[in-house]
Amino acid sequence: MKPFVRRSHLLVPVLDREKVETSWTHNADSVILDLTGIESEDDRSRARSLVKESIRHASRGGAHVFVLPNKALARADIEASVCPGLKGIVYPGAETSADIEEADSILSELETGRGIASGVLQIIALIDSGTGVWNIREIVTASPRVCSSGLDELNLCRNMGIIPYADFDPFVYAKGRIVVETRAAKVQPIGISHPYGVLPQFDDADEIYQLALRGKNLGFAGAICPDPSWVVQCNTAFAPPADRLEFFRETRRLFAEGVARGTAAVPYPGTTMMIDVPVDENARVNLELWELCAAREAEKAKAIEKQESTMA
Amino acid sequence: MPINNPRFVDRSWTRDCDYLNFDLEDSVPQSQKDYARSQVRHAIVQGQKGAAEINIRINCAYPDADVPAAVWPGVKQINFPKAETGAQIRHLDALITELERVRGIRSGTVRIGATVETTLGVANSYEIASASPRIDAFGGGTGYDMSMDMGIEMFVGFDQFVYNRGEGELIALALGLEREGGVFMSDTTGNVGNAELSIKRAEASRKAGLRTGGGLHPNVVAPQNLGLTPTVNEVEDAHRVLSFFAELDQRGETEGDMDGRIVDKYEAARAEELIEWASLCAHRDAEKSAAREQTAAELDEQN
């Protein structure tokens, strides 16, 4: 899978039409249209009938649009969703490779039937059980469609009988395991730092930013945003820090000079830091990610510009 | 330390290190790899002047070129960085086995230090740690390479490697290996020569049952030796615990109160272990000290 930038995944209930229609205005890298939590059969049918139109709304700002189906009704929900413009699905409560293989098979069938290039639809695997955490390796390697994986912390609490509590993170091990196994499979881990995974808040921009940044520094590449207030903070926190770019460039320059002189252990002037291969590589990786983030921003800006000129 | 830097290598014996890790990997530029390989035997001689154990860190990408350059009499361990699979370790083991045979080194005595520095390595820790009987110690993956693979910035003030460390230590225990690593201490500077932090970390690590340390700067050698060695007070206390427990035993009792704390067979075993470790540390210090004195005397004679 080509490298991609999805720092923010804005979650929007399909039946909340106002939120759907404005979803493209928040500058999210991705929008997830939520088909879960719908009680009545009538509402479910209505939601399914609205998905394709919702995908058009959500993608107007250049966001990658995903649909979150009900696990028990996955086939019907996915059938209602797959159309050109959809980036993929979020698979809720993945527990084994068989779950992902089944979703893969449904997507393959629908790609063929609906004129979509084979294999392009992606899967974000959400984990909400101890079984899923334990089987994370087989889940993220079950299909080349799996692009990201993360914990559904609230449902994981329910399934494990945990009462969410701000002072204590019950998922240190689970998050560590998700990050390590997901990255080892070259898939992006998504998540935010405690306590927002279990007790999300929406009115303190700085706290949102700090917890997203802490999430990044635990190894996550982006987060699911239950509210638009998280989007900008996540876009900033999950990108390399702008104030470190010059440092990264200078690191690369000094190291290249050192190597030319015959040393690969180069002191960084004015600090106690030594630059060696991993430090130089870290600078390279950050500069590359910065470029990718800039390209993603340009892509979204172009889409918004196009929308605005169409609307004018 | 970079083996291609004679300034570092030639003074290595003066540092009072229990072991020296001569580097053929990341601190050596690509253009100097061949030269670095040619310096191993010189480095062994230099390092042994201070009775340090000699480790050589090879490149994971070039085991076939590095191992023949690194395995010589006097080398205690080959460090294999960025270990990701059991197959890599088995290949390394086979190379070492052959070199032990042709270079007159007792079979099976050169150890392998497998260092986990990527998420794939953490994921495959068990197969790595169990891939060769030459591995007698193992720990979880931390550090710059790991940070890069995890997409994180280091030195942000909280423990980012809890899972990695936990996996490594559990696997070491499950396989009966010595645990390696260090207790997390908040560090927002990344100063490799921070002696104060180094001693705190070493003391905490020892209390967490760890016995080894490592570093990139001579400033941290003495703090680590000190922090990882039981103090005189701790040794005296351990002897008191053993005497108290012996008295209990004579009375047919299994536990008792000594100055407000319970002493039982577990406390007694811990005291015994501490005394044994302190004695090993003292023996090692005496060994190094004697070697340095002898080297200094020889140098005086030459001058």
Contact A211, A236 (CB under 8 A): no
Distance from CA of B195 to the nearest CA of A (A): 13
Please give the pLDDT value at position A3: 92
Q: Is residue B217 one of the residues assigned to a domain? A: no
Mutate to test the interface with A, among B158, B163, B186 (most CBs of A within 10 A): B163
Q: Give A212-266 pLDDT, tens digit per residue.
A: 999 999 999 999 999 999 999 999 999 999 999 999 999 999 999 999 998 888 9
- Of B190, B221, B254, the last residue of a domain is B190
Distance from B33 to chain A by nearest Cα, in Å? 10
At B88, list the tokens. 């890599």
Tell whether A86 is covered by a domain: yes
The answer, yes or no, to whether residue B168 has pLDDT greater than 80, is yes
Give how far B268 is from chain A: nearest CA, Å: 33
pLDDT digits (tens, 9 = 90+) for B78-130: 999 999 999 999 999 999 999 999 999 999 999 999 999 999 999 999 999 99
Kindly state whether residues A253 and A221 are assigned to the same domain.
no
Between CA A51 and CA A69 the distance in angstroms is: 11
Report how far residue A162's alpha carbon sits from residue B269's, in angstroms, rounded to the nearest whole number. 38
Q: Is A174 in the same domain as A190?
A: yes
Best residue in A4, A180, A266 for a mutation probing chain B (most B CBs within 10 Å): A180
State the pLDDT confidence band at A124, using cuts at 50, 70 and 90. very high
Structure tokens at B115: 């260092």
Residues A86 and A108 in one domain: yes
Q: What average pLDDT does range B181-207 have in this prediction?
A: 92
Q: What are B112's strand-pairing partners? A: B78
Judgement on whether residues B160 and B285 belong to the same structural domain of the protein: no
Residue B84 in any domain: the answer is: yes
Q: Residue A60 half-sphere exposure, CB side, CA atoms within 13 Å?
A: 20
**Mean pLDDT score of chain B:** 96
Q: Express each pLDDT in B24-64 by its tens digit.
A: 999 999 999 999 999 999 999 999 999 999 999 999 999 99
Q: Which of B156, B190, B224 is the last residue in one of the domains?
A: B190
DSSP assigned state of B176? T
Query: What is the domain range of residue B148?
Result: 6-190
Length of chain A: 312
pLDDT, one tens digit per residue, over B219-248 is 999 999 999 999 999 999 999 999 999 999
- Residue A143: give its domain's CATH number: 3.20.20.60
Q: What angle do CA A265, B52, B298 make, to 5 degrees?
A: 105
Structural domains in chain A (count): 2
A:B CB pairs within 8 Å: 106
Q: How confident is the model at residue B189, as a pLDDT?
A: 84
- Asked if residue A272 has pLDDT above 80, the reply is no
Angle ∠(A238,A240,A242) on CA atoms, nearest 5? 120
Tell me, yes or no, whether B31 and B180 share the same domain.
Answer: yes
Confirm whether A104 is domain-assigned.
yes
B27 and A219 in contact by Cβ < 8 A?
A: no
Asked if the model's pLDDT at residue B140 lies above 90, the reply is: no
Residue whose pair of structure tokens reads 């008191």 in the numeric block: B240
DSSP letters for A134-184: HTHHHHHTS-TTEEEEEE-HHHHHHHHTPPP-TT--TTHHHHHHHHHHHHH
Q: Are residues A264 and A121 in the same domain?
A: no
Half-sphere exposure of A163 (CA within 13 A, CB side): 0
Of B31, B144, B149, the CB nearest to A279: B144
Is B200 within a domain?
no
Tally of domains in chain B: 2
A278 and B144 in contact by Cβ < 8 A? yes
A275 and A255 Cβ atoms separated by less than 8 Å: yes
Task: Report the mean per-residue pLDDT for chain A.
Answer: 96
Which ranges of B12-142 would DSSP assign to H, the alpha helix?
33-38, 40-48, 63-70, 86-102, 119-123, 125-129
Say if the Cβ atoms of B164 and A176 lie within 8 Å.
yes
CB contact (8 A) between residue B189 and residue A274: no
B171 and B244: one domain?
no
My answer on whether B32 and B131 are in the same domain is: yes
**Considering only CB atoms, which chain A residues are within 8 Å of B123?**
137, 180-181, 184
List, for residues B253-298, the tens digit of each pLDDT value: 999 999 999 999 999 999 999 999 999 999 999 999 999 999 999 9
Q: Would residue B103 count as lying in a domain?
A: yes
CATH code of the domain covering residue B39: 3.20.20.60
Judgement on whether residues A34 and A99 belong to the same structural domain of the protein = yes
Q: Do A213 and A290 have their domain in common? A: no
Question: Which chain A residues touch B189 with a CB distance below 8 Å?
Answer: 272
% of chain A at pLDDT higher than 90 = 92
Find the domain containing A251 and state its range: 242-311
Residue ranges of chain B whose CB lies within 8 Å of a chain A CB: 2, 4-5, 25-32, 118-120, 122-124, 143-145, 147-153, 156, 158, 160, 162-164, 166-167, 189-194, 216
* Distance separating alpha carbons of residues A78 and B237, to the nearest angstrom: 69
